[in-house]
Structure 1
C-alpha cells in the first residue's frame, strides 16, 4: 500500500502525531514538534503493514476486513473502528491529553490509545516500534510488570498499560476481551489505575476542546470545515513558548521526485501572522496572546537588528540544514531534511508581519495583557528596520535560494509596518509619533507605487521595475495597500489569474526557480484568488472555486501545502497552516450572514 497524506493529526500543543487510515501512528516527534521522530514511518519507502517497518504504532486485527475513521465531534480525538472478516470489531481512541488541572493546562508529551471491543472477540496484534536518531535504529526496550521503557534517543519514553506487556514486546496475536489503556509518555511512574485515569483524561480532553470550540465565532456555512481547521491550527502551536509551526512534518516533497523537501517544523513569522490573523477573526484570542509573548521575546533578543524569517520553537536562531540519511523519505523520495536554510535569508516582509501581528493588541480589550506604550516603543525599531530595508533586495516570501530582487510583497509589508505603527500611536495618544510613522508610510507608498506599478502593462509587478507575476500580488488588497476597485488592482488580478491559474488551482509563480518549473499548485494561493474574485464582484465564481477546494481535503478535513494540477493528490508538508488559514478566511468571507438564518 502506498503512503498518502490522508492522515489524522492528534496533539495537545506540546506533543503531536499523525494517524493513518488504518489506525497506525506513523509520525510523531519528541520531546517537541521539531525533535527526533519517535514515529518515523511516514518517511519510509515501505508499506507500514510490512512486518519489518519500524517507526510506527499499529493496532491490527487478524483477518482484517474494513476500517472506519473519524474525529470525535469538535475535538482532535480520533476514533478508528476496525472489523475483521468474521464480523468482530473494536475501536481505537487516539489522543494527547489536554485539560486544566491545578490552575494550569496539563499537556504532557504523551500519547494515549484506548482499545475497546465492540462486537465478538477480535484477535489483535500491537506493534509499537519507535525509532531513535532519525530512523537510524529501533529504540531499545526495558520492561517492568506493567510498563515498557524505550531508551537510546534524546528522550526516554515509557509505556504504561493494563494489558500483558509481553503481548506488546513479542507482538503476539491475542483475543481482545477487556478494554486496553496505553499511556506513552515521560519516563515517570504512573501511580494510578491506567484505565480509569486514561478514561478520565479522555473525558476531560473532550470537554476542553469542545469548550474551546464554543468560544469561536464561526460563519453560518461550512462550520465543520472551519472548526476542524481552527482546531488543527491550534495543534500547530507550541504553547510553552507561543511559537506556531508551519506544519507538523518535514520533507514531504512538493511533487514527485522534486527535491523540494523542506523541514516545516519551525516558526515562520509570516505563517504565524496569517494563523493568528485567521484565528483572531474567529475570536480565538488565546492564540494571539500566546504568540505575542513569543514575538516580544524575539524582538528583545534581536534588539532592533535584522530579524530572521524563521526561528525554532524555543526561539533558536540557528536552524542549520542537514540530512537524515537513515530515512529514505516519503515514498522513498528523499532527501529528508532537518533544519531550514531560510534562517539565513533576508526576507523583509517579516518586519511587517511582526507589527501586523501585534497591532491588534493595542485595540483589543479582551486580552489579559493589552499592549502598552512600552510595547509600542519596543516595536519602533522594527518599524525603523522596515523603513530601512523596504526598497532593498531579498529572497521574497517564496524563499528563492538562488536569486534576489526588490519584491513588491516585501516592500508592501514593510509599508504596512509603518502604517500600522501610525494607527497604534493614535490609539495610544502619541500624536507626534503617529505623524512620524504616517509620514514614513506615505513616503514608502509613493516609491512602491512608482516602482512596483508597470505602466506599460497597466498592472503591478512582483518586483520593482519588473514585469514578473506572482500570487502574492493578490495580498495588496488584504493589507489595504490598494482597494479592490482600483483599476490597477483589477488589471493585476486579471493578469495573475491568467498567468498563474492551472484549472481551478493557482501557482505561486510560473518562472523556473532553483529546482526547475513548479509542477504543483500552491493551496494558499488558490484561496487568495478566491478572496480576490469575491472582492472583485465575482462572488459566484469565488464560491464555486471554494467548494472545489473543500472537496480536495483529506478524510480528516485538512489540506497540505500543494496539490497536483488534476486535483487528485496532495503534496507538501501536512497539515499546512497556510492552507487552513485560507480555508477559514474564505469561509468567513463567502458565507451568508447569521442574520439571514435567524
Structure 2
C-alpha cells in the first residue's frame, strides 16, 4: 500500500522519493514536472505492476531508514527473520567537479550485506507516459537500457545482469552497485564511480550545511528542513517548486488533487525569507533572478499565480490514467491556476525583492 513516509533524493536537477523499504516510488525526468519514470506512488492499492525500483530482502520482517547526518544521502536497513540484514544507500550525485557543480540526472544505489546470508531480489521496472506501460529493454554484459517515450536511461551495475532482467533472487555476498542515469558509458568501474560519487556528495552536503546560519536549538531539524528546501530548487533557472509530486489528495474522496510541481509566486516571499535567514545566499539569489525574469517577460505587467520551472506560462491541465494515491484519483498533469487572476502575487513579488537588501 502506498504511504507518505518517504525519503527524498535530489541534486538540483531532479528528485526521487523512496519508501521505508527502499523502494523508489516516484521520480520524474528530465526535471520535476517531467514524465515519472517511477510512478507507483500513484498506482492505487495493492502491489504495482511497474513504475518502481526496489531491492527485496527475502523474509524481510523489519526496516529502518535514516539520512546520513547533514546530507541528502538516504540509508535503508532491511532485516529478515534469520538474522540477515542488508543496507541500501541512495544518493543523487552533487559535487564540485571541473570548476562546476556536477548534478546529473542520476541515482546511485549501493547495496551491502550487513549480517547473515541475506537473499535479495532486484526489481527495476521503469514506466513511461505516466505509468501507461513498462519500458522495453536492451542489455549488455554490465548494463541494461530502458527505452522510454522521450529518452533512454541506462542501469550500469556489477550485479549479474540476467538476475536483474529475470528478477531472480540471489545471495548477497558483497556490495553491489547500481548507477541509473543517462544512456552513457561510465568512464570507470561502476564500484569506483559509486564510491567516489558517494564520498564527494557527502562532502558537498557537509560543507553546504556547515555554511548555514542556524539557531542553537533544533539544529538537526532546521538543517534537515534546509536541505529539503534546497532539493526543491531547480538550479538551472533558480525556480523553487511547491512540491515534487502531483495529485496527492488534500482529503480522501474529494478529488482535490492538484499538480504542485511548479512555482507559486505567493510562496516566493516566505521561501526567500527562509533562505535569507539560513544564509543560503546562492539559492536565494537564483530564485530572485528567476522572479526577475518572470517580471521582465510579463505582458503588460500581468503576473500569473504559477509558472513552470523554465518560466512556462501555459500549464494546460489534463488527467492521466494512473489510479491515484491509494486509489484516490484523478491524477492531474498541469494546473489550471495559471489562468486565474490572483492580485496578491504583486505584493508577494514586491516583498520578495526586499530580500535583496537585507
TM class by smaller structure? over 0.9
Instruction: Tell me what 1:347 maps to.
Output: 342
How far apart, in 2, do the equivalents of 1:59 and 1:276 lie?
38
1:329 aligns with 2:333: no
| Superposition deviation, residue 303 in structure 1 | 4.8
| Superposition deviation, residue 304 in structure 1 | 4.3
Instruction: Tell me what 2:271 maps to.
Output: 275
Q: Which runs of 5+ in 1 are unaligned?
A: 365-598
How far apart, in 2, do the equivalents of 1:296 and 1:218 lie?
28
Contact 1:245/1:272 (<8 A) preserved:
no
| Superposition deviation, residue 204 in structure 1 | 0.7
| Superposition deviation, residue 356 in structure 1 | 1.7
How far apart, in 1, do the equivalents of 2:93 and 2:149 lie?
23
Larger radius of gyration: 1
TM, length-normalised to structure 2: 0.98
How far apart, in 2, do the equivalents of 1:273 and 1:171 lie?
48
Decide which structure has greater helix share.
Answer: 1
| Superposition deviation, residue 101 in structure 1 | 0.7
1:211 aligns with 2:214: no
Instruction: Tell me what 1:288 maps to.
Output: 284
Instruction: Tell me what 1:25 maps to.
Output: 24
Contact 2:268/2:349 (<8 A) preserved:
no
Q: What is the 5 A alignment of 1:110-125?
A: 110-125=106-121
Instruction: Tell me what 2:40 maps to.
Output: 41
How far apart, in 1, do the equivalents of 2:290 and 2:61 lie?
48
How far apart, in 2, do the equivalents of 1:3 and 1:174 lie?
27
Match 2:132 to one of 110, 130, 136 = 136
Instruction: Tell me what 2:94 maps to.
Output: 98
How far apart, in 2, do the equivalents of 1:75 and 1:304 lie?
43
How far apart, in 2, do the equivalents of 1:89 and 1:36 lie?
34
How far apart, in 2, do the equivalents of 1:142 and 1:220 lie?
53
Q: What is the 5 A alignment of 1:105-504?
A: 105-325=101-321, 327-361=322-356, 363-364=357-358
| Superposition deviation, residue 107 in structure 1 | 0.4
How far apart, in 2, do the equivalents of 1:24 and 1:65 lie?
15
How far apart, in 2, do the equivalents of 1:157 and 1:182 lie?
13
Q: Aligned to 1:276, what secondary structure does the other structure show? A: helix
Contact 1:70/1:78 (<8 A) preserved:
yes
- Per-residue Cα deviation, 1:390-415 (whole angstroms, up to 9, x for no partner): xxxxxxxxxxxxxxxxxxxxxxxxxx
TM, length-normalised to structure 1: 0.59
Q: Which runs of 5+ in 2 are unaligned?
A: none
| Superposition deviation, residue 165 in structure 1 | 0.9
Q: Which range is displaced more, 36-45 or 301-310? A: 301-310
Contact 2:58/2:80 (<8 A) preserved:
yes
Contact 2:127/2:148 (<8 A) preserved:
no
How far apart, in 1, do the equivalents of 2:180 and 2:64 lie?
24
| Superposition deviation, residue 9 in structure 1 | 0.8
Decide which structure has greater strand share.
Answer: 2
How far apart, in 1, do the equivalents of 2:312 and 2:293 lie?
11
Contact 1:59/1:127 (<8 A) preserved:
yes
- Per-residue Cα deviation, 1:318-358 (whole angstroms, up to 9, x for no partner): 10000012x00000000000000110011111112222222
Q: Which range is displaced more, 334-343 or 210-219? A: 210-219
Contact 1:34/1:266 (<8 A) preserved:
yes
- Per-residue Cα deviation, 1:105-154 (whole angstroms, up to 9, x for no partner): 00011111000111122100010011100010001111111111111322
CA RMSD of aligned residues (A): 1.1
Instruction: Tell me what 1:453 maps to.
Output: none
How far apart, in 2, do the equivalents of 1:112 and 1:357 lie?
36
After the TM superposition, which segments of 4 or more aligned residues of structure 1 sit over 6 Å from their partners? none
Contact 1:82/1:90 (<8 A) preserved:
yes
How far apart, in 2, do the equivalents of 1:287 and 1:206 lie?
19
- Per-residue Cα deviation, 1:75-131 (whole angstroms, up to 9, x for no partner): 111101111111011100011000111111000111110001111221000100111
Q: Aligned to 2:301, what secondary structure does the other structure show? A: coil
How far apart, in 1, do the equivalents of 2:296 and 2:185 lie?
39
- Per-residue Cα deviation, 1:190-245 (whole angstroms, up to 9, x for no partner): 12111111111111111111111111111121111111111000000100111100
Q: Aligned to 1:116, what secondary structure does the other structure show? A: strand
How far apart, in 2, do the equivalents of 1:280 and 1:4 lie?
33
